[in-house]
């Protein structure tokens, strides 16, 4: 069908017109800020590969979290960084009520209450001395079912500490169902599960491993997904939905916008996407060299993730972007 009198540029002629007809919105409420809290440090520690991001002390975390909530971010996702000597093969310090992640969750729950959505990364990689996301057997393989048993304990500990949402990110088969049953049995039926449903074995995670002090040797390709497999990603998302996921997430975001869009097509629950450390670092480095306008590129990237279908975006720019958008 032809529309000979159409001139699309008419609707781009002023900022007000562009705002009026914008198909995709980006608002602070859509954004979740990942934050790192480290044990055994006296002041915030810079993460060299992620300029502008730090490992927090408990005290600095409380200040930064309150500022992010004041700026309007939708939620906070917390990662714990234990002391090296506290790591072991089973990641037991992640279960400890006095472990760094759990006490920090308690701090923020007490400070912020219902003013934000407090989330916890429910994985073992930060807490294990081998750096894998689960329990490693005698053959050096990650044991799926033994790992799920540990995830249940981890999720219950996080819920007890004040997490409103737990985020299983290890890509074990059946992890969502196991955690749902465990939370319900422990008296936490209202704690939601944000499932890392399609998490790819990506080179864009490099800076994150510095951020959490990862001890990983080798790779995680036996449990994280291959970057070329879209059908498998949708299968994983469908399985997590069947197991009771309240939110499903695609990670990384920018290189996998087709997966975000496909997830949005099939999901009856909100879809999240994680703009990961390497994606953040690339734009930040380009901006530092004067090659791109950092603020404009950050906001454009976030808008494009939203356009693909993400209801929620985890991004290290969350607090900054919320202020830019206000």
Query: What are the catalytic residues?
Result: 199, 251
228 CB burial (10 A radius; 0-12, 13-18, 19+)? exposed
Q: Are 311 and 270 in contact (CB under 8 A)?
A: yes
Q: Which two tokens stand for residue 61?
A: 């975390």
On the 0-12 / 13-18 / 19+ scale of CB atoms within 10 A, 118 is: buried
> What is the DSSP track for 203-234?
GGGHHHHHHTT----S--TTTSBPTT-HHHHH
Question: What are the φ/ψ torsions at residue 56 (nearest 5 degrees)?
Answer: -90, 155
- For residue 235, count CB atoms less than 10 angstroms from its CB and return exposed for 0-12, middle for 13-18, buried for 19 or more: middle
* Non-local CB neighbours of 303 within 8 Å, separated by 6+ positions: 24, 26
What residues does 120 pair with on adjacent strands? 78, 166
Helices vs strands, H then E, count in the chain: 11, 12
- Among 204, 123, 126, 129, CA closest to 169: 123
């Amino acid at each position: 069908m032809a529309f000979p009198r159409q001139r699309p540029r008419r609707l781009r002629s002023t900022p007000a017109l562009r705002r009026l007809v914008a198909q995709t919105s980006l608002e602070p409420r859509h954004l979740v800020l990942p934050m790192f809290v480290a044990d055994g440090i006296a002041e915030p520690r810079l993460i060299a590969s992620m300029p502008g991001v730090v490992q927090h002390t408990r005290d600095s975390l409380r200040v930064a979290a309150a500022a992010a909530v004041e700026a309007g971010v939708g939620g906070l996702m917390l990662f714990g960084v234990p002391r090296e000597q506290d790591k072991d093969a089973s990641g037991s310090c992640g279960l400890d009520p006095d472990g760094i992640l759990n006490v920090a969750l308690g701090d923020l729950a007490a400070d912020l209450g219902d003013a934000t959505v407090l989330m916890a990364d429910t994985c073992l990689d930060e807490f294990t001395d081998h750096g894998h996301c689960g329990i490693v057997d005698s053959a050096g393989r990650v044991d799926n079912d033994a790992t799920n048993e540990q995830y249940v304990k981890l999720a219950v500990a996080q819920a007890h500490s004040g997490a409103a949402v737990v985020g299983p990110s290890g890509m074990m088969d059946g992890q969502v169902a196991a955690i749902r049953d465990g939370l319900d049995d422990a008296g936490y039926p209202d704690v939601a599960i944000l499932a890392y449903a399609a998490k790819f074995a990506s080179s864009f995670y490099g800076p994150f491993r510095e951020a959490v002090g990862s001890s990983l040797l080798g790779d995680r390709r036996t449990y994280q997904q291959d970057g070329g497999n879209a059908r498998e990603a949708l299968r994983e998302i469908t399985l997590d939905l069947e197991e009771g996921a309240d939110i499903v997430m695609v990670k990384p975001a920018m290189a996998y916008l087709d997966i975000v869009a496909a997830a949005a097509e099939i999901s009856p629950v909100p879809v999240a996407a994680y703009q990961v450390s390497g994606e953040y670092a690339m734009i930040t480095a380009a901006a530092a060299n004067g090659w791109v306008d950092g603020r404009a590129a950050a906001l454009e990237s976030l808008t494009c993730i939203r356009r693909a279908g993400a209801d929620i975006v985890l991004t290290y720019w969350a607090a900054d972007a919320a202020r830019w958008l206000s």
